[in-house]
Amino acid sequence: MRVLGIDPGYGILGWAVIEDSFKALAYGVIETSKQAHFDDRLHEIHTGMTVIIREYAPETAAMEKLFHARNTTTSLDVAKAIGVVILTLRMHGLRCAEYSPLQVKYALTGYGRASKSQMQEMVLRLFGMKEIPRPDDAADALAIAACHSMAGKSPQRAPIRKSS
């Protein structure tokens, strides 16, 4: 199963495509310009996700759930970016599973309160990598994709409905 893992954000969005549990096909980030209008940043996310979906043809997607941050404005902006991602996935016939940070940490390390360095070490081991993917958002996306793959979820393709 080919899984697209997503670490949501509007400044930097991490993504990773894996296959057969622990084979990393590609990973990276969509980075938006801080100087750009927020609408343009959301459009950059949509465009970037579209390119990734078309190039790697994932069968399913998984994203980290938004946690409550101290800054309400930041949380709302990340939520808007998540909406854009979910809509983009849906436009390509994909549904998106969501996992809390605790679920991702538990799936990879067996401990829901694992540190960032413990998570990065597990990503290295699981994917047989020599270096930790940078930036951290890409490594986080690999962890999210692995979590979904280990959860044994079947591919979640959905028919695309044409609006009238």
Question: What are the pLDDT digits (tens) for 63-91?
Answer: 999 876 677 888 899 999 999 999 999 99
Give residue 158's pLDDT: 45
Q: Are 25 and 82 in contact (CB under 8 A)?
A: no
Percent of the chain with pLDDT over 70: 91
Q: Where are the domains of the chain?
A: 2-150
Catalytic site positions: 7, 64, 137
Give residue 68's pLDDT: 66
Query: What is the arithmetic mean of pLDDT over 40-60?
Result: 98
The partner residues of 63 in beta bridges, in order of sequence, read 6, 98
Lowest mean pLDDT across 72-76, 137-141, 154-158: 154-158
Tell me the two tokens of residue 164: 């009238």
Q: Binning pLDDT at 50, 70 and 90, where does residue 21 land?
A: confident
The whole model's pTM is what? 0.90
Q: What rounded mean pLDDT belongs to the chain?
A: 91
Q: Give the residue carrying structure tokens 């199963």.
A: 1
17 vs 151, more confident = 17
Statement: 2-150 belongs to CATH 3.30.420.40: no
Query: What is the arithmetic mean of pLDDT over 113-131?
Result: 94
Alpha-helical (H) ranges within the chain are 38-56, 72-91, 101-109, 116-127, 136-150
d(CA 9, CA 14): 8
Give residue 69's pLDDT: 64
